[in-house]
Structure 1
Amino acid sequence: MEASASSRVWFITGASRGLGRAFTEAALAAGDRVVGAARDVSPLDDLAAQHPDRLLALSLDVTDRAAVFDVVDQAVGRFGRLDVVVNNAGALFAGMVEEFSEAEARAQLELNFFGALWVSQAVLPQLRAQGSGHVLQISSIGALGGFPSTGLYSASKFALEGMSEALAHEAAQWGVKVTIVQPGGYWTDLYTSSTATTPNPVYDPLRAELEKQWAEGSIDSEPRLAAEAVMTLVGSDDPPLRLLLGSMVYDLAFDISRRRMGTWAAWEETSRAAEKAVPAPAS
């Protein structure tokens, strides 16, 4: 399919595999143009050969802020604009909170949070200048709550969502939209390519229980279904701030919210007693 004058331009990080690859394929199938960024873009060679005029594959480490700004400049230089920005690059560093070294903890935040922050900063001047654009922050079920062995991963996604809510308010004045996408389980290499901490044996019983739960209850879907949902999202004139992908994550989000509301209500008296307006203290 050839690109039309009205085709959108996508900028997708982590585009060479998993959900990023599915998003790239869906955008190309719709006749759009794509800048696919990843540390290793060789898995995109087949798509680049099929769509030489509509896919620009650029090598990028999103933790390198200067490189992010340079690649965004290259993208705009090639296609003239950006319409959909997908912050998808990320990884899972698995381990109990106590087990993380400083370097491991920082690496998790550098990739999942700071990488998305640098991309968001780099694209905003272009989106502001053109008065339009849609930034998709690919979050996770891990941002709904903290779960054993994925605490630092959740921390990175909680940070991403807090930043993205603020960005949505700040960028709305220029017609720029932001959506936090919260996927459930998909058949990607997120788990097989994850990095694990050095296990502390005191957590062996918990680790064994978690492995049992995952073996019995894990339900993953094709990335293609997530891509179809994203295409519906970017086609909306009034996209939401948040979008859940999958029945499991949808049900979990409501369950966690109800439990939190129940706890808040149970402790309402204590909460309200902790606040009483008083005049400003004398300096």
Structure 2
Amino acid sequence: MAKTIFITGASRGLGRIWAEAFLKRGDQVVVAVRNPQALTELSKEYASTLLALTLDVTDKAACFEAVAKAKEHFGTIDVLINNAGYGHTGAIEELEEQEIRTQFDTNVYGLLWVTQAVIPVMREQKSGHIIQVSSALGLLAFPTLGLYSASKFAVEGISEALAAEVSGFGIKVSILEPNGFMTDFATTSGMQSKSLAFYDEVRDKLAAGNKAEDWGVPEATAAAVLKLVDAENPPLRLILGRVGIQWIKHVYGQRMQTWEEWQDVSAAAQGN
């Protein structure tokens, strides 16, 4: 049965790939993007099943308006994929205030506004699936990517709480955690702080461990996302890529070891 999918940030990259995959199999798709002109050819090919809307997710009122337009146009919103976002690179000392605020405005507040807008629609329907695009770096952090990780850590917390809050309304929540993929995410769509020479060694070390084979093929994610959307009982978290799960297992193994080593201190801090 065809679904109505609302995707933010789908003019390029993973979002565009997923939108096309949904359209090809016969779903109705709403793409909410800053520049709908980037979807002109796709709109012509799928004139009856694609609705392209102009949306800056940092504008809360515009997010609610876009969701209302989508609901009016197709009558339902079965799946929300909050994909809009970008990566900002910079050591913590290098980050400027406006850079920090802009990163959170898009990756956290933008996701939050669209989520808030769609919940009443899904609650009325007594069904729906909210998919939040986080990152493997929402579960761990690399040097010079602390700001991006902070935004995705926030997405993780918001989404985990949301899942418990809306389950009684028939709404499911999933968090996607991709590792690196060969899109323009880390190049033209990313931002970078003015660098300080003190951190050049840190950057060089990170770059030295960056292997080409660790970057996934973007098109390969489509099948996973379609399977997630079609699942009767979708997982709260789904890692995309074989590299991310390796990172996470390693980091969480270290965390558990440290917590267990300090367990007596932790227990004593309880005070009773």
Calculate the TM-score normalised by the size of structure 1.
0.94
Of 196, 199, 210, which residue of structure 1 is paired with 2:195?
A: 199
> Structure 1 stretches of 5 or more lacking a match?
1-5, 278-283
Does residue 46 in structure 1 map to residue 38 in structure 2? no
Of 94, 102, 105, which residue of structure 2 is paired with 1:99?
A: 94
Give the counterpart letter for 2:206 in structure 1: L
Give the counterpart letter for 1:199 in structure 2: S
Q: Specify the structure having the higher radius of gyration (Cα).
A: 1
Does residue 60 in structure 1 map to residue 55 in structure 2? yes
Does residue 276 in structure 1 map to residue 236 in structure 2? no
Instruction: State the SS of the aligned residue for 2:2.
Output: coil
Q: How large is the RMSD of aligned CA atoms in angstroms? A: 1.0
Query: What is the alpha-carbon distance in structure 2 between the residues aligned to residue 134 and residue 22 of structure 1?
Result: 19
Query: What is the alpha-carbon distance in structure 1 between the residues aligned to residue 94 and residue 224 of structure 2?
Result: 36
Does residue 10 in structure 1 map to residue 5 in structure 2? yes
Does residue 122 in structure 1 map to residue 87 in structure 2? no
2:222 aligned residue: 227
Query: What is the alpha-carbon distance in structure 2 between the residues aligned to residue 212 and residue 222 of structure 1?
Result: 21
Of 104, 107, 112, which residue of structure 1 is paired with 2:107?
A: 112
Does residue 25 in structure 1 map to residue 25 in structure 2? no
Query: Deviations along 1:129-164, whole A, 9 cap, x unmatched?
Result: 000000000011111212101000000000001000
1:210 aligned residue: 206
Query: What is the alpha-carbon distance in structure 1 between the residues aligned to residue 216 and residue 257 of structure 2?
Result: 32
Give the counterpart letter for 1:194 in structure 2: G
Of 160, 171, 180, which residue of structure 2 is paired with 1:185?
A: 180
Query: What is the alpha-carbon distance in structure 2 between the residues aligned to residue 95 and residue 191 of structure 1?
Result: 13
Query: What is the alpha-carbon distance in structure 2 between the residues aligned to residue 250 and residue 225 of structure 1?
Result: 16
Does residue 143 in structure 1 map to residue 129 in structure 2? no
Give the counterpart letter for 2:69 in structure 1: Q
Superposed displacement of residue 218, structure 1: 5.4
Superposed displacement of residue 15, structure 1: 0.8
Give the counterpart letter for 1:113 in structure 2: V
Query: What is the alpha-carbon distance in structure 2 between the residues aligned to residue 264 and residue 181 of structure 1?
Result: 27
Query: Deviations along 1:165-209, whole A, 9 cap, x unmatched?
Result: 011001100000000010112111111121110111111121222
- Deviant stretches of 4+, over 4 Å: none
Does residue 259 in structure 1 map to residue 254 in structure 2? yes
Superposed displacement of residue 40, structure 1: 1.0
> Structure 2 stretches of 5 or more lacking a match?
none
Instruction: State the SS of the aligned residue for 1:166.
Output: helix
2:157 aligned residue: 162
Instruction: State the SS of the aligned residue for 1:53.
Output: coil
